[in-house]
Amino acid sequence: AQSVTQLGSHVSVSEGALVLLRCNYSSSVPPYLFWYVQYPNQGLQLLLKYTSAATLVKGINGFEAEFKKSETSFHLTKPSAHMSDAAEYFCAVRVNTGGFKTIFGAGTRLFVKA
Amino acid sequence: GAVVSQHPSRVICKSGTSVKIECRSLDFQATTMFWYRQFPKKSLMLMATSNEGSKATYEQGVEKDKFLINHASLTLSTLTVTSAHPEDSSFYICSARAGMDTEAFFGQGTRLTVV
């Protein structure tokens, strides 16, 4: 079955430092992968998605992710963290089990220190 | 991106009553809508998938008589929590997509508190 695993429920970085949020996937077919951000008491906003085109995907707010088949990873990065990046981040995979659905990882909360 | 609106954003209800949450796609026709439940500091759990004009498909472990889903039009789906109890308190999020292979857009969520 297709799934995603996010390593680290909490990540803390200093403002201006590199952000790295880890996601590994499990899939027997080429996956469609997503990263979403959620601010407190709000819905989800799509940051970026991988749909089997370019392996390096650029998203909004300076985020990008690289699909690495050999490592079954889709880690999210941003060169320089801003205070406004503090939020919950979810990695997700689209699965087809009688229709397309999006299955989410457990989430990683990003803290940004001044 | 497209806009999906949920209403209400917050609701408090008494134990034993029913509450309805609406999910509307404002600028596109949503053939499929999804309902998720999110526990505090947890991920989103898919509850059910609803296609316009047909019965919802519920995920394993979700009580269909407890969580009634109606997708009567291409722009509206409703989730009714029947005979709500405190353990039903949660954050409920809907998402909607226009077609099988299109992006799903998320509503802003509804915080349900049952007292």
Question: In A1-114, where do the E strands start and end?
Answer: 3-7, 10-14, 19-26, 32-38, 44-50, 56-58, 64-68, 73-78, 87-96, 100-104, 108-113
B37-75 in b/e form (b: 16+ CB < 10 A) is bbeeeebbbbbbbbebeeebbbeeebeeeebbbebeebb
Task: Say whether pLDDT at B24 is over 80.
Answer: yes
What's the pLDDT at B5? 94
Nearest CA in chain A to B5: A43
| CA contacts within 13 A on the Cβ side of B98 | 9
Is A105 an 8 Å CB contact of chain B?
Answer: yes
For the sheet with B19-25, list strands across it.
Answer: B4-7, B19-25, B76-81, B67-73
Q: Tell me the range of A103-107, B1-5, B77-81 where mean pLDDT is highest.
A: B77-81
Interface test with A, best of B34, B39, B43 (most A CBs within 10 A): B43
d(CA A43, CA A23): 20
- Looking at residue B1, its pLDDT comes to 67
Q: Is A31 on the interface with B (CB under 8 A)?
A: no
Higher pLDDT, B101 or B16: B16
Per-residue pLDDT of chain A (114 residues; tens, 9 = 90+): 788 999 999 999 999 999 999 999 998 777 899 999 999 878 889 999 998 778 999 999 999 999 999 999 999 999 999 999 999 999 999 888 777 888 899 999 999 999
Q: Is the per-residue pLDDT at B67 higher than 70? A: yes
Which of these, A7, A11, A56, A61, lies nearest to A33 by C-alpha position? A56
Averaged pLDDT of chain B: 92
Q: Which pLDDT does position B45 carry in this prediction?
A: 92
Contact B57 A99 (CB under 8 A): yes
Can the peptide bond before residue B8 be classed as cis, meaning omega within 30 degrees of 0? Answer: yes
B57–chain A nearest CA distance, Å? 10
CA angle A90, B73, A97 (to 5 degrees): 45
Q: Which residues, 6+ apart, have CB-to-CB distance to B60 below 8 Å?
A: none
Rounded to a whole number, what is the distance in Å from the CA of A69 to chain B's nearest CA?
22
Q: How far is it, in rounded angstroms, from Cα B89 to Cα B112?
A: 5
Phi-psi region of B69 (alpha: psi -120 to 50; beta: other; left: phi over 0): beta
How much is the pLDDT for B53? 82
Separation of alpha carbons B75 and A103, rounded Å: 23
Residues of B in contact with A102 (CB under 8 A): 34, 46, 95, 104
Average pLDDT over residues B9-38: 95
Residue B15 has pLDDT above 90, yes or no: yes
Task: Please state whether beta strands B90-97 and A44-50 pair in parallel, antiparallel, or not at all (unpaired).
Answer: unpaired
Chosen from B106, B110, B113 to mutate, greatest number of chain A CBs within 10 A: B106
C-beta atoms of A43 and B46 within 8 A: no
